[in-house]
Amino acid sequence: MRLNHLSGLAGAVALTAILAAAGPAWAQQQAPMLDALVESGELPPVEERLPANPLVVEPVDSIGTYGGTWRSALRGGLDNAWIARTVAYDGLVRYNREWDEIIPNLAESWEVSEDSRVYTFKLREGLKWNNGSPFTSADIAFAVELMSEPSYGAGTFIKNPNNPVTVEVIDETTFSFVFENPNGLIMDDLASVNGFTVVSLNKEYCSQFYPKYNPDAEANAQAAGFETWELHMQDRCSWATETIRWANPDLPMMNPWMIEEPLTGDATRTTFVRNPYYWKVDTEGNQLPYIDRLTMRVSDSLEEITLMALNGEIDFQDRHIATVANQPLFFDGQEAGDYRLGANVPSTSNTLVLQFNMNHVDEKRRELFQNKDFRIGVSHLLDRQEIIDVVFTGQGEPFQVAPRPESPFYDEEFAKQYTEYDPDAAAAAFEAAGLVKSGEFYTFADGTPLQITIDLIASFRSEWVDMMELMQLQLEAGGLDIELNNIDRTLYYDKRPLGDYDAQIWQGDGGLDVVQEPRYYFPANGESVWAFRWQVWYNGANPEIAEEPADWAKAQMDLYTQLRAEGDPDVRSDLMKQILEISKENFPVIGVSLPGNGYYIAKNNMRNIAEPMLHAYLFPTPGPYDPFQWYFAAE
């Protein structure tokens, strides 16, 4: 076995030892709101609630004070991503604040076999769920067992048919993930927002809904109004951060705050209150979190949420309201609203990715969209600087879908190729692609009219409408007949397996999380809209629509398969560089501009908030910046 020695682990262990040796300086403190519960005997003393070696967290700036309510808002009752980012970022391991290292969390250490098949974790001794019951290896094994059920759960490494996993329980605090094949990326998966799933299912509570443990589970499900035990389980013990999970206050949690007012279908707000068994402390031994409560207003109105922020009724938020259009408004309102704006560095590579469907069911369109010259021509027709000036008030720069300048994978030539506005180069590229200019617009070589429909979801990004209307004008001025098709998100996704769409747009994931989010560099997953049926072939799903990819894409798939099995990070990096080089050569998707920095809104008395923050979903900002150590300074 090779032991994973990380500086984060070494530092935490050393700090714990120093504090323990200091004697009285390590007197553990708790929030005043818990004092009465301890005095009455309803809650054990803090030293009995914490594990033997609590995770010691160094505050961003200063030791905090207890109390207060953090106010924010959800855009409707299905906005589970904000809860994932604020409440739920606690897995076996986690990323550090710089996003360059995986550090201990619920697991205090781990070992990896030489072949990267067996990952053995050691949990902190004495961990407890928020109801006081022990958190042990049995809970991990139960989560994997339940998630292995074909009819329960989705979107996790446990469900990967190409690399099945089992759990070997060694003792109450030690267990191993055993993979059928090498898995070099599992630690990144566990450190991301996806790592929550495997630590989110309490065996003692959830097993009552599982026929393997309760023979009456099926009958109980039907008595409760559910057709199957799986539906009952999903209602009571939903996986990961699914919205329904936050509707059950009885579901045990390991997070800094626990459900107080549930997120039910008709809720106008949901609240979370401190977990008295939370297992982290600051460097003076104070049990975290500092903040007592989180309250989230549930509103479908962006205008209402924006007005709340302007009025100083939101303590921290960026999601939904920190838009380009709102930035001048929020900037001018800082003094009146008693808040400040902080910088977010986006992980995205692009403000908009234009993806032509290379697997179109229409043969002529498929051939055209697979033609690199066609895509080069489209790219040269985009006046990116005009879009940047008009839509983003000059923030950003022309950029393709490529790793960001902050990434170790950055390649300036890749990022800048074909970004010049050059109608003559576009015309030459279209001619090379076999298109014929007939009057105002290009046609296919046989004279068949060519109108290209681009799907978008206007409600997802307000700036997309402005961008696409400008792009439509620019492309039509260059001879392409463009129709914009604004549809809802469900239809947007339903069209993909059918293959009868021309193009779709999305944001440019993979700017910093290059290895973890390669959807635009090769046909990696269901978000690779430009080659949906190629990714189906690669992932072994839906064989009825799978299509064998082009040779260059197959070469990338082979490289990524090697990467996923490789335990050496340097070798993984070299393999990813090869994948990127092939992507650079074949230019599968078209970008517009590198996003400028985003921003967040924070009340002036809210402390320990890092600036700037890297902003991503897999690195679920603000979660990795430890909101449990944020606090409200005395006025």
Q: Domain extents for the chain?
A: 2-202+237-344+600-632, 350-594
The single-letter code of the amino acid at 494 is D
| Tens-place pLDDT, residues 60-76 | 999 999 999 999 999 98
3-state secondary structure 487-517: CCHHHHHHHHHHCCCCEEEEEECCCCCCCCC
Sorting pLDDT into bands at 50, 70 and 90, what band is 14?
very low
Query: Which tens digit of pLDDT belongs to each residue from 516-570?
Result: 999 999 999 999 999 999 999 999 878 899 999 999 999 999 999 999 999 899 9
Superfamily of 350-594 according to CATH? Dipeptide-binding Protein; Domain 3 (3.10.105.10)
Span of 11-25, 257-271, 293-307 with lowest mean pLDDT = 11-25
Instruction: Please report, as a single letter, which amino acid is at residue 374.
Output: F
What is the architecture, at CATH level 2, of domain 2-202+237-344+600-632? 3-Layer(aba) Sandwich (3.40)
Q: How far apart are CA 182 and CA 180, in angstroms?
A: 7
DSSP string for 26-87: G--B--GGGHHHHHHTSS--HHHHS-SSPEEE--SSS------EEEEEEESTT-HHHHHHHT
> Please, which residues bridge with residue 503 across strands?
356, 454
Residue-wise pLDDT for 181-215, tens only, equals 999 999 999 999 999 999 999 999 999 999 999 99
Q: Say if residue 101's pLDDT is above 90.
A: yes
> Residues with Cβ < 8 Å from 574, sequence gap 6 or more?
none
Do domains 2-202+237-344+600-632 and 350-594 share one topology? The answer is no
